[in-house]
A = this chain, B = another copy of it.
């Protein structure tokens, strides 16, 4: 006796009382009377590779089932196989209390598509919550547990994202984003959608229109402007800088007087971009009301997106809806492709045109 007994479970804290350890492949092997490697082979169920006798196969499967065996994702990951786990990391709470920027519609699509493809989801509790990811750079490193990760929200730290991308870790960002070179993303096709809205107005007979936008350089904004201008071009209408009104504070700068001035110049339709705050749209509605305009009789209004929640009761704006659920699905689709080592799928998702009630034919020209 006294022989140096094997060190008990080194590297592990003692198992909690009453807790039965999950069965391992080794245990399944013992029950089936085979080696652990055989278990691995059977469970991998590869087409190629060494064939296994049906008899052994069944024994192993039965043992695994009866023991409730489930592969350890960490070990699997370590051995460079896959998890069937897709990560979701948001930089605000994934389920925010303020419904304002709720990811719910995205998640519907994400869950559906992930289920479809046999993936489970890992929700990494974001940094904002002060949760698991509060501390430093390792916060983002956690996502490497999954086979790939989806990022939501504007405040993704470029450095860390770049690192993941550089390491070849499959990453998809929700929303167009150029910042870390080579970052994959899915986003709404604002260019086409804005283009379509302009086409709709032009078809109604509008010859001059103005885009109201805020003063930032977010891709979502520039895309809309781009689509707006392209729409004018397609319709053979005059473009140029004077068709875009840009203001850091539309509520202040978009006065009823200015609106009247445009009208006097022959402008008959106004298009506002959508932003988080909805400032442009709000200002436009306000100015039109203050100017005593009856919409759409006196002028047509359109919104490049969906109205903010608090304006949901008002008349349905002509414009388009962002297909959030389909965006979520598209993101998962792309992520799955990257995980599989395939090419990234189509990043753009079409928006749904919304006829709405704020546009109509331009007013008949009075006077001569």
| B-binding residues in A (CB < 8 A) | 11-13, 15-22, 65, 68-75, 77-85, 93-97, 104, 107-108, 111-112, 114-126, 129-133, 137-138, 141-142, 144-145, 163-164, 166-170, 339-341
Contacts and interface: CB of A to CB of B under 8 A. Distances in A.
B168 A15 contact: yes
Given A108-B97, A125-B115, A20 B166 contact: yes
A327 B56 CA distance: 47
Copies in the complex: 2
Contact of A138 (B70, B75, B170): B70
Contact of A19 (B121, B142, B167): B167
Given A77-B145, A111-B125, A119-B125, 7 more contacts: A17-B341, A19-B168, A69-B141, A74-B78, A93-B111, A114-B132, A121-B125
B132 A80 contact: no
Given A79-B12, A123-B120, A137-B70, A104 B95 contact: yes
A169 to B, nearest CB: 8
Nearest to A116: B131
Contacts of A122: 85, 120-123
Contacts of A95: 104, 107-108, 111
A75 B73 contact: no
Nearest to A11: B79
Given A18-B341, A95-B108, A142-B70, A121 B123 contact: yes
A73 B145 contact: yes
B129 A115 contact: yes
Contacts of A15: 168
26 contacts: A12-B81, A16-B340, A16-B341, A18-B168, A19-B341, A20-B168, A22-B144, A68-B164, A68-B167, A70-B137, A70-B138, A72-B145, A73-B144, A74-B83, A74-B144, A77-B145, A85-B122, A93-B108, A111-B129, A114-B125, A114-B131, A114-B132, A118-B131, A119-B125, A120-B142, A121-B125
